[in-house]
Amino acid sequence: MPTMSAPFGAGTQKKNESKYSMAISFEGMDADTAAGRKLRRAYDKMQQIDDRVRDLMMEHKETLYKDVKDAAGTKKDPKKKGSGPISDELVQLRYESFIKPGKDMPDLMYLSLQTARVPEKDAAKYTEQEKAEMEKRFAGMPGYDFLVDNDGNAIDITTENVTNIIPWQSRVKPVIELAYCWVMKDKFYPIWSFVHGLLASNVKERSFDIRREDDDEDEDAPREEEDAMQEDEAQDGDEEDAMQEDDEPREEEAEA
* Domain map (residue ranges) of the chain: 4-254
State how far the alpha carbon of 216 is from the alpha carbons of 23, 35, 199, 251, in Å. 17, 8, 15, 30
In this prediction, residue 203 carries a pLDDT of 76
pLDDT tens for the chain, 256 residues: list them. Answer: 999 999 999 999 888 888 999 999 999 999 999 999 999 999 999 999 999 999 999 999 999 988 886 665 544 444 555 555 688 999 999 999 999 998 889 999 999 999 999 988 988 999 999 999 999 999 999 999 999 999 999 999 999 999 999 999 999 999 999 999 999 988 999 999 999 999 999 875 444 444 444 444 443 434 445 555 555 554 444 444 444 444 443 333 434 3
What pLDDT does 17 receive?
86
Q: What kind and span of H or E run contains 62?
A: helix 61-64
Torsion of CA 82, 86, 87, 88, to 10 degrees: 150
Residue 8: helix, strand or coil by DSSP? Answer: coil
CB-facing half-sphere around the CA of 106: CA atoms within 13 A: 22
